[in-house]
Amino acid sequence: MTESRFASSIREHNTGLVKIWMEAVRADDRIKSDKDLSDGGLVDHIPVMLEEICEHLERDQPPSSFSIREARVHVYLRYQNGYRGRDLVGELSQLRTLLHDHLTELARKSADVTFEDFSKGLRLINQYIDEEVRFAIAVYSEQPQKSEA
């Protein structure tokens, strides 16, 4: 199952992927809230979120609002710490791009990965991140608003 290979690669490169993600977030001038976070505070739940994504890839199961536990905690803590919603979405966009690039490179190097396998893996990753964005919209829009100056 190709999705297992994708999951294995993400696990194998977890630390490096998190580092690349952190550097991309720090370099993105559109993201402002990260300036108030230490590296540890910025990274916080990303390694475990990558593990949740791997679990979905291995099970070949689309994520649901109940199966993205770490992503929900990530959103809620960002909200509680005054992180702007648009910056959270920017972080997730960086994560999506990073994982797409990683899987693209893996597929390019693997002759036995079909377009359908590749597409299915990317779809699961997109669904995971989309579920987190949906949860973030609920948290940010349904909670008493904080100042986003």
Separation CA 75–CA 68 (nearest Å): 11
Check which CATH number belongs to the domain holding 111 and give it: 1.10.490.10
Contacts of 67 (CB under 8 A, 6+ apart): 52, 56, 61
pTM of the model: 0.89
The secondary structure of residue 31, as a DSSP letter, is -
- Unique residue bearing structure tokens 């966009």: 93
106 assigned to some structural domain: yes
**Residue type for position 33:** S
Supply 63's token pair.
């994520």
Which residue in 96, 121, 101 sits closest to 8, CA to CA? 121
Residue 146: predicted pLDDT:
54
Q: Give tens-digit pLDDT for 58-110.
A: 999 999 989 999 999 999 999 998 899 999 999 999 999 999 999 999 999 98
Which residue in 42, 70, 44 sits closest to 55, CA to CA? 70
Q: What angle do CA 42, 45, 46 make, to 5 degrees?
A: 80
Domain containing 74: what range?
2-142
Q: Give tens-digit pLDDT for 21-54.
A: 999 999 999 998 877 777 887 888 999 999 999 9
Tally the domains of the chain.
1
pLDDT band for position 120 (50/70/90)?
very high
17 assigned to some structural domain: yes
Chain centre to alpha carbon of residue 82: 20
